[in-house]
Amino acid sequence: MRLRKILSTCAALMLLVAPAFAQKKMTKEEKLKLPRMAILEFKAAPDAWHGWRHGGWGNQMGTISNQLRDLFTTEIMEKGRGKIRLVERERLEEIRGELNFQQSGEVDTNTVQKIGKLLGVKYVMTGKVTRFAYKESGFGTGWGVGALVGRVTGDGMAGAVAGSVNVKKASFTGRLDIRLIEVETGEILGAWKEEDKTSDTSVKVAGTGAEISYDEELVNKVFEPIVQRITPKLLRATGQAAAESEE
């Protein structure tokens, strides 16, 4: 009886773990059948740059766009494995040239459909930075390089030439608007807005305070949580659309 009970328990455990072992790796043919999606270049809304008295960041939109596409690519590849494929950015750049696709301005549905058809994708994701705000919350002053040189040498001009660096406390807020479009119909399958904010952080302002240096880590810190929240919603929308097309 005891042996039979042990065998029965082992059998029950095997039934519980069997599904995990039963999952097989997708074949190349199965992967090729997965729907494909392209992530277009991100744009910035005209009033997206709030509080940037120090300027400069608006000129970095191309770099920020690439970071956002990389963030979404990583999330979609991790959370959408076995559900969807992504088109390489290099292939999209080739298509841009064929369509004379401009760097700025709105991307209308007709353009999205043209791009999608040329790429052979089922879905296209478009995105816009509607807010990337900067707000100072006070600042800490040190002597800085220039001030220190001026103090040691007693020469104000020497200090000015050497320059100075101020470390200020600031907060940053980011907001993304994302749309998922089905290429064949032009239908918007989903639209999402998400916002996040960093805690106060130190930023370096060089010289007389004219520029805040571009900081890739800061961009990731602001937008990565937003990307992580939007991606599951996007994948649910593609999954629902796929299920409806099979009915």
- What is the average pLDDT score of the chain? 76
Residue 23 — very low, low, confident or very high, per pLDDT cuts 50/70/90?
Answer: very low
Reference 90, options 69, 109, 105, 74; nearest CA is 69
Residue 118 — very low, low, confident or very high, per pLDDT cuts 50/70/90?
Answer: confident
Residue 77 in contact with residue 34, Cβ under 8 Å? no
- Residues 228-242 have a mean pLDDT of 93
142 vs 39, residue with greater confidence: 39
Reference 69, options 208, 219, 215, 195; nearest CA is 219
Which stretch of 59-73, 86-100, 217-231 has the lowest confidence by average pLDDT? 86-100
Q: What is the pTM of this model?
A: 0.73
Residue 186 — very low, low, confident or very high, per pLDDT cuts 50/70/90?
Answer: very high
Most confident of 90-104, 157-171, 180-194: 180-194
pLDDT of 161: 44
Residue 207's SS3 state is coil
Reference 115, options 129, 102, 128; nearest CA is 102
Q: How far is CA 161 from CA 31, 130, 155, in A?
A: 60, 39, 10
Rounded to whole angstroms, how far apart are CA atoms 215 and 104?
22
Rounded to whole angstroms, how far apart are CA atoms 168 and 190?
39
pLDDT of 97: 66
Which stretch of 102-111, 142-151, 210-219, 230-239 has the lowest confidence by average pLDDT? 142-151
13: Cα separation from own chain's centroid: 42
Beta bridge partners of 37: 86, 123
Residue 15's SS3 state is helix
Residue 112 in contact with residue 183, Cβ under 8 Å? yes
User: 58 pLDDT exceeds 80?
Assistant: no
Rounded to whole angstroms, how far apart are CA atoms 186 and 238?
14
pLDDT of 99: 63
CA Rg, the chain, in Å?
26
- Residues 90-108 have a mean pLDDT of 66
Residue 110 — very low, low, confident or very high, per pLDDT cuts 50/70/90?
Answer: confident
Rounded to whole angstroms, how far apart are CA atoms 247 and 243?
7
User: 171 pLDDT exceeds 90?
Assistant: no
Ordered domains of the chain (ranges, CATH):
30-132+173-195+219-246 (3.40.50.10070)
User: 162 pLDDT exceeds 50?
Assistant: no
Contacts of 166 (CB under 8 A, 6+ apart): 139, 141, 142, 144, 204, 205, 209
pLDDT of 20: 46
User: 213 pLDDT exceeds 80?
Assistant: no
Residue 243's SS3 state is helix
User: 18 pLDDT exceeds 80?
Assistant: no
Residue 237 — very low, low, confident or very high, per pLDDT cuts 50/70/90?
Answer: very high
Strands 165-182 and 201-206: what pairing?
antiparallel
Residue 134 in contact with residue 212, Cβ under 8 Å? yes
